[in-house]
Structure 1
């Protein structure tokens, strides 16, 4: 993982204005009140075995934790925020704002800070989609308070 590149993307996300409509970006997606960027993406696991997937999961969590250490030095310690309850609430029909509802489908938890830009949150999470899909280390900036 290129830490300098990740930090550059994070700083850019924190400073960027939010769009008025949902759309794709060069690294992910943005919508009213949020940006989501893939800081790193693994290969897929269509032909891989369970051990390869477990190794990738461990590496992506280590990468998240490494970035967390750097950001803790800048912004203080994060909150560890589980999205599992958010996912259950969406399944029960509760309306949860984006980006939290969508993230809860494939990101079990995030490390969460008040971003350096007032009124914004920054989160790091590891996307764990279906077994065959790649892992992604995600950077999320939003003005939507966590549910």
Structure 2
């Protein structure tokens, strides 16, 4: 997916109504108050040599940098969301609201902005070293999370 296609997807998710129940499609998960979409996905890395893994990390990192740059032109500098506190909360069996419950297991850090009554966040993650790397966008209502994993101020 090109940068223009990624921006089109971000805009479509920003405008799309949230469903009453969780739904899944090939690259999108939605639910009450959120959407998550894969904008770019590497190949599976279960049999990849370290050079292939490094190449995939570099490629997805560059795509993230370009997307953050484009979104920053629209909405200013992003808030950096460290999801480690959310992951810790989840691991202790404490409640974590969607979509952070789904994201915290494989995206360590996201870049977030506020647009009207929604927040938009992007990041690169990988659920397991053998799974593909993914460039993701999440759109949610309410406030984005702060660094400690508790509800915080969005942008």
TM bin, normalised by shorter chain, reads: over 0.9
Of 127, 134, 137, the residue aligned with 1:136 is: 134
Q: TM-score when scaled to structure 2?
A: 0.89
Is there any run of 5+ residues in structure 2 with no aligned partner, and where? 146-150
Compute the displacement of 1:51 (Å): 2.1
In structure 1, the residue corresponding to 2:101 is in which secondary structure? helix
Counterpart check, 1:97 vs 2:92: no
- 1:15 aligns to what? 15
The answer on whether the counterparts of 1:119 and 1:143 sit within 8 Å (CA) in structure 2 is yes
Report the aligned-residue RMSD. Answer: 1.2
Is there any run of 5+ residues in structure 1 with no aligned partner, and where? none
In structure 1, the residue corresponding to 2:55 is in which secondary structure? helix
Counterpart check, 1:30 vs 2:30: yes
The answer on whether the counterparts of 1:22 and 1:30 sit within 8 Å (CA) in structure 2 is yes
Q: TM-score when scaled to structure 1?
A: 0.93
- 1:59 aligns to what? 59
Q: State the aligned residue count.
A: 145
- CA separation in 1, counterparts of 2:123 and 2:67? 11
In structure 1, the residue corresponding to 2:36 is in which secondary structure? strand
Q: Name segments (4+ residues, structure 1) moved above 6 Å.
A: none
Cα deviation digits, residues 39-97 of structure 1 (max 9, x gap): 11111012211221122112212211111111111111101111011101111121010
